[in-house]
């Protein structure tokens, strides 16, 4: 006991214990086994992803309406959607629902079932055309390459879905989005190429000379 009391006390610091090492699971590549855990793996691409871009859609406008009931107001939405393949086919569809996303989906489905063919001359239209629907009036004129889409947002949405890249337009009369869109679609339906007009008139000699 006497020896323990006479032990000298030193001021040296006691080393801290080493931190415990944590195990990190390695990130496996796509070439691993089926049972490997792959937290960073990309989700598998659906086979229908390539078909979704076949008919690009553009929402022209969304309208909200309210119905007053005993418990308050109930809102519903209507969406006008334009769909086209950008190769001479375009369609308009109106969808209604209590949710915006569902209304857009219904409008897109209705537009795909009412696609109409449009006669194009390269990236523009073959000739000038004027059309009206209700109080809306639309004038479309062909443009030289590189001009672009010189038109309003509603007319732009319709002609862009149809595949037109160079055009001059003027919207007259009513500014109602639905009427302007339908007037634009009606104007595109009136387009005729030179070959189509010759065949309708029974002129085959000019077709052979141009060929």
State the average pLDDT over residues 176-205: 87
92 and 137 housed in the same domain: no
Last residue of a domain, one of 83, 99, 116: 116
Last residue of a domain, one of 116, 147, 165: 116
101 and 134 housed in the same domain: no
Comparing 31-45, 61-75, 84-98, the range with the smallest average pLDDT is: 31-45
Please indicate, yes or no, if residue 8 is contained in any of the structural domains: no
84 and 96 housed in the same domain: yes
Query: Predicted confidence band at 195 (pLDDT cuts at 50, 70, 90)?
Result: confident
**Tally of structural domains, the chain:** 2
pLDDT of the residue at 50 = 43
112 and 125 housed in the same domain: no
Of 200 and 23, the one with more pLDDT: 200
Residue 28 predicted with pLDDT over 60? no
Last residue of a domain, one of 62, 82, 116: 116
pLDDT of the residue at 152 = 92
Please indicate, yes or no, if residue 158 is contained in any of the structural domains: yes
Please indicate, yes or no, if residue 166 is contained in any of the structural domains: yes
69 and 112 housed in the same domain: yes
Name the average pLDDT for the chain.
80
Strand pairing of 149-150 and 116-117? Answer: unpaired
Please indicate, yes or no, if residue 206 is contained in any of the structural domains: no
pLDDT of the residue at 22 = 56
Residue 148 DSSP SS3: coil
Would you tell me how many other CB atoms lie within 10 Å of the CB of residue 109?
A: 13
pLDDT of the residue at 196 = 83
136 and 95 housed in the same domain: no
Of 51 and 94, the one with more pLDDT: 94
Q: Please tell me the pTM assigned to this model.
A: 0.68
Please indicate, yes or no, if residue 34 is contained in any of the structural domains: no
60 and 78 housed in the same domain: yes
Q: Which two tokens stand for residue 119?
A: 């006669």
105 and 60 housed in the same domain: yes
110 and 131 housed in the same domain: no
Residue 92's domain comprises 53-116
pLDDT of the residue at 200 = 82
141 and 177 housed in the same domain: yes
What's 67's domain CATH number?
A: 3.30.160.20
Please indicate, yes or no, if residue 17 is contained in any of the structural domains: no
pLDDT of the residue at 56 = 83
Residues 6+ apart with CB under 8 A from 75: 64, 65, 66, 67, 98
Residue 197 predicted with pLDDT over 50? yes
123 and 175 housed in the same domain: yes
What's 164's domain CATH number?
A: 3.30.230.10
pLDDT of the residue at 51 = 45
Neighbouring-strand partners of residue 96: 78
70 and 108 housed in the same domain: yes
Please indicate, yes or no, if residue 210 is contained in any of the structural domains: no
Q: Determine the angle formed by the axes of helices 153-162 and 177-189, rounding to 10 degrees.
A: 40
Please indicate, yes or no, if residue 39 is contained in any of the structural domains: no
């Amino acid at each position: 006991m006497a020896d323990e009391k006479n032990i000298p006390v030193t001021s040296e610091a006691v080393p801290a214990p080493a931190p415990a090492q944590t195990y990190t699971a390695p990130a496996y590549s796509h070439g691993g086994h089926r049972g490997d855990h792959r937290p960073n793996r990309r989700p598998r691409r659906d086979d229908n992803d390539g078909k979704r871009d076949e008919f690009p859609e553009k929402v022209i406008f969304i309208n909200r309406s309210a119905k007053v009931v005993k418990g308050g107001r109930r809102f519903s939405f209507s969406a006008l959607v334009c769909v086209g393949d950008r190769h001479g086919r375009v369609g308009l569809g109106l969808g209604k629902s209590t949710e915006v996303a569902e209304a857009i989906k219904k409008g897109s489905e209705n537009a795909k079932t009412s696609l109409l063919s449009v006669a194009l001359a390269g990236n523009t239209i073959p000739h000038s055309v004027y059309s009206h629907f209700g109080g809306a009036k639309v004038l479309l004129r062909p443009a030289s390459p590189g001009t672009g889409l010189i038109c309003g947002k509603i007319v732009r949405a319709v002609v862009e879905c149809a595949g037109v890249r160079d055009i001059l337009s003027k919207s007259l009369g009513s500014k109602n989005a639905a009427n302007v869109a339908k007037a634009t679609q009606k104007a595109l339906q009136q387009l005729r190429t030179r070959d189509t007009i010759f065949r309708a008139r029974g002129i085959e000699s000019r077709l052979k000379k141009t060929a």
